[in-house]
Structure 1
Amino acid sequence: MTEHSKITAGHQVRLAVVYLRQSSASQVENNRESTERQYALAGRARELGWPDERVLVIDEDLGLSGSGRVMRAGFARLTSEVALARVGIVLGLEVSRLARNNADWHRLIELAGLTDTLIGDADGIYHPALFNDRLLLGLKGAMSEAELHVLRARLNGGIRNKAARGELRRGLPVGFVWGEDDGEILIHPDEAVVHVIRTIFARFAELGSARRVWLWLRAQGMKFPLSLGGHHELRWSEASYHAVHAVLANPVYAGAYVYGKNRRETVLDETGARRKRVRKLPMEDWQVLIKGHHQGYIDWPTFEANRERVAANTQPRTHAKAQEQAGGAAREGGALLQGIARCGHCGRRLHTHYRGRTATPGYHCAGKVIVEGRGVYCLNVGGVQIDEAVVAAFLEALEPVRLAATLEAAERLENDREAALKQWRLDVERAAFAVNRAERRYRAVDPDNRLVARRLEQEWEEALRALEAAKTELAQREEQRRRVLSATEREKLLALGADLASVWHAPTTTPRDRKELLRTLIEEVTLHVDRDEAAAHLVLRWKGDATSRLTVALPRSRPATVRTDEDMLALLRRLAPHYPDAIIAGVLNRQGRRTAYGHRFDANRVGNLRRHWKIPVCKAKPPAADGDIVTIRQAAAALGVAPSTLHRHINDGLIRGEQITPGAPWRIRLTPELKARFLATPGDGFEPIRDAMDTLGLSRQSLLQRVKRGELDAVHVVRGQRKGLWIKTIDNNPTLFEHTS
Structure 2
Amino acid sequence: LVLCGICGCRMTIRYYLRHGELSPYYICQREHIEHGVPLCQYIPGQAIDAAVSRLLLETMTPISLEVAMAVQQEITARQEEAHVLRAQQVARAQYLADLAGQRYRRVDPNNRLVANTLEAEWNAALKALQEAQQEYQHHHQQDDLLINEAVRAKVMALTTDFPRVWNDPHITDRDRKRLVHLMLEDVTLIKSHEITIQVRFRGGAIQTLTIPAPLKSWQTWMTPLERVQMVDNLLNEHTDEQVAVILNDRDLHPGKGGAFRGRLIGNIRRAYGLKSHYDRLREVGMLTAQEMACRLAVDKKTVMEWRQAGLLRGYLGNDKGVYLFEPPGPDAPTKRMGQKLSKRRQILEAKYLPDRAKEVQYES
What is the TM-score normalised by the length of structure 2?
0.35
Higher relative contact order (CA 8 A, sep 6+): 2
What is the TM-score normalised by the length of structure 1?
0.19
Structure with more helix by fraction: 2
